[in-house]
Amino acid sequence: MRAHMLKCLAVGLLVLAIGTLNTETAYAQQQGDSVEGNIAGTVGLGLLGAEVGLFLPPAFNLQDQWWAWVLFPAVGAAGGAVAGAFAFDPGSPDPAVTVSILGVGMLLAVPAIVGASALSSARRANQIDEAQNGGLLRFSKRGASLGAPSVTTQAVFSPSEQSRYSLPQKSSTRVALISGRF
């Protein structure tokens, strides 16, 4: 339901943006002003490249790495801008096309951020489900199941506690009996 509503909103905004941009181009041409299409197309493709770059960290399971959120959109923006510089020579194509590309790039900025955030959250939820499935009895969205329990051994005292209180090191063993997401 929510996804359908977002799609309808995005399509409506896209139609509004394209209609507005075409009206502005026609108004500028009526007034005798020249519209430079090559700059608009270059910036528009740069924005689209950055938006594609936003989806790459969760796609490559790097959503917890800050450098991926900086690097991929920056490389995508640079690639889009370079492609726009080579694709749009001064005076060609029609400014309506390149201004529309700029409008689409600006229009899709917020949906790209929201979509990348949603994909990242879904990946984190899957990682939590996998990490919590270490018990003998495992609960998940698919139901309950049995599996080999995870067994961990840890030191009881830290090295500073041992030296401060002259304690011998002890270890504790933990066996997960129930795991899952509640």
At 14 the pLDDT is 55
Domain regions of the chain by residue span: 2-131, 137-180
At 72 the pLDDT is 93
At 24 the pLDDT is 47
What distance in Å separates the CA atoms of residue 88 and residue 100, rounded to the nearest whole number? Answer: 13
User: What are the DSSP calls for 67-92, one per residue?
Assistant: HHHHHHHHHHHHHHHHHHHHH--TT-
Per-residue pLDDT of the chain (182 residues; tens, 9 = 90+): 555 555 655 566 556 555 555 544 444 555 555 555 578 888 889 999 999 999 888 888 888 888 888 999 999 999 998 888 888 776 666 777 888 888 888 888 888 888 888 888 887 776 665 655 677 787 777 788 787 887 888 888 888 888 899 888 888 888 888 877 65
At 71 the pLDDT is 92
What is the separation, in whole angstroms, between the first and last Cα of the chain? 24
CB-based burial label for 102 (10 Å; 0-12, 13-18, 19+): buried
